[in-house]
């Protein structure tokens, strides 16, 4: 498993991403009401919260598959996640800092900070695992 990730550093980064994705996926899917309350978001947004949680949960399942199967020829997944997190972070930054549409008293920069961090971590993995994923 460690050799599939070119050593412990990239394996740890992958596991950190897995934990972050699991946290958000579980909260969006199974703790929807509390997750929405945390940011003072209307309960009518439950569908979109669960939609996002479903997508994140699919990523978690793919990560678990890669963790045990290996990283060989998984470039599409790694690149897709890097691009996706970059777009989400950019859109979240714009929505919070520029547009401010729908912000509440409990609005948080967590949206673009966490996805920005995930984009950076996915980017590090894309470069660090290039010899494995681009086969």
Can you tell me the mean pLDDT for 5-18? 97
Model confidence pTM above 0.85 = yes
Closest CA relative to residue 106, chosen from 49, 53, 46, 35: 35
Domain ranges of the chain: 3-133
Residues 6+ apart with CB under 8 A from 98: none
In the block, tokens 């599409």 appear at 76
Q: Mean pLDDT, the chain, as a whole number?
A: 94
């Amino acid at each position: 498993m460690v050799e599939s990730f070119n050593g412990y550093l990239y394996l740890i980064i992958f596991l950190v991403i897995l934990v972050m994705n699991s946290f958000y996926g579980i909260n969006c899917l199974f703790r929807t009401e509390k997750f929405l309350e945390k940011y003072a978001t209307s309960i009518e947004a439950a569908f979109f919260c669960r939609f996002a949680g479903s997508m994140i949960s699919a990523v978690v399942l793919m990560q678990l598959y890669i963790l045990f199967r290996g990283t060989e020829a998984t470039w599409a997944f790694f690149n897709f996640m890097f691009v996706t997190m970059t777009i989400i972070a950019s859109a979240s930054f714009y929505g919070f800092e520029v547009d401010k549409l729908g912000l509440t008293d409990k609005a948080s920069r967590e949206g673009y900070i966490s996805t920005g961090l995930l984009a950076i971590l996915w980017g590090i993995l894309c470069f660090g695992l290039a010899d494995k994923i681009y086969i």
